[in-house]
Structure 1
Amino acid sequence: MAHHGEILQEAIKNSGISISHLVQELGITRPTIYRKFKEATLDYSFVKRVGEVIQHDFTNDFDTPVQSQLHFTPPVVTPSTVTRQQVLQAVDQDCTKALMALQAKYIALLEAYNELLLKMYGPK
């Protein structure tokens, strides 16, 4: 199985987009992205968000189970073919995306708080 963090790091490096710009767009901190580079498996929604920022399609970079969830272009659906289950899946995806955005903001806030504590009180 491919190491997701390494694949992500290589794609970011090849994109020419700076880490500073990337973390600003994602709403995370530099230490967070560097921790992600060390992770063997990454959440597909995070990888997709990074791909959107650096304009890179990770569909062919990951193994088969992850590939099916990384498609960047949604399928064309006509109103006559939309089922109740498809509508519910779309709602679930929107909720997941909103939750991931809140999680990223929360992590960034916690990291900023930790940095402030270190500045105020120093290491133990």
Structure 2
Amino acid sequence: MQHRGEIVERAIRKSGYPISQIARKLGKSRRWMYLMFDNSQVDLESIILIGRIIHHDFSEQIKELNAINPESFSEPESKYTKQNKDYWKNKYLKLLESYNTLLKKTNPE
């Protein structure tokens, strides 16, 4: 019987992608990744998503993947867009500037 976790671990280490980066893209923790490596029956959806991240086709090593349509699994989307991050960063900076101005008015030195 194939140990899916070991197969995935070998592919990840061979790819050179940092485990923490893959975990982040999956929305999981590094701890989850290491527990997955120890699991002989990793779910196929996770394997497909990891394969997309590291650009690796696991269907040659894990025969069960041939019976599944990989297009049915989508990559996890980032919760925040670049535009959204910039909006909140700018809002924070404006608030910080207002706070500093208020401090100067109340505490002149």
TM tier relative to shorter chain:
0.5 to 0.7
The whole-number CA distance in structure 2 between the counterparts of 1:11 and 1:52 is: 12
User: What letter corresponds to residue 57 of structure 1 in structure 2?
Assistant: D
Q: Percent identity?
A: 29
Partner residue, 1:22: 22
User: What letter corresponds to residue 41 of structure 1 in structure 2?
Assistant: Q
Unaligned 5+ runs, structure 1: 75-92, 102-124
User: What letter corresponds to residue 48 of structure 2 in structure 1?
Assistant: K
Partner residue, 2:57: 57
The whole-number CA distance in structure 2 between the counterparts of 1:45 and 1:66 is: 9
For normalisation by structure 1, the TM-score amounts to 0.55
Unaligned 5+ runs, structure 2: 77-109
Shift, 1:38, TM fit: 0.5
Post-superposition CA distance 1:41-74 (Å, at most 9, x none)? 11111100000100101010113x34322x54x5
Question: Contact conserved, 2:58 with 2:65, CA < 8 A, in 1?
Answer: no
Q: 1:31-50 residue pairs with structure 2 within 5 A?
A: 31-50=31-50
The whole-number CA distance in structure 2 between the counterparts of 1:25 and 1:18 is: 11
Partner residue, 2:67: 68
For normalisation by structure 2, the TM-score amounts to 0.62
| Deviating 4+ runs (over 2 angstroms) | none
Shift, 1:20, TM fit: 1.3
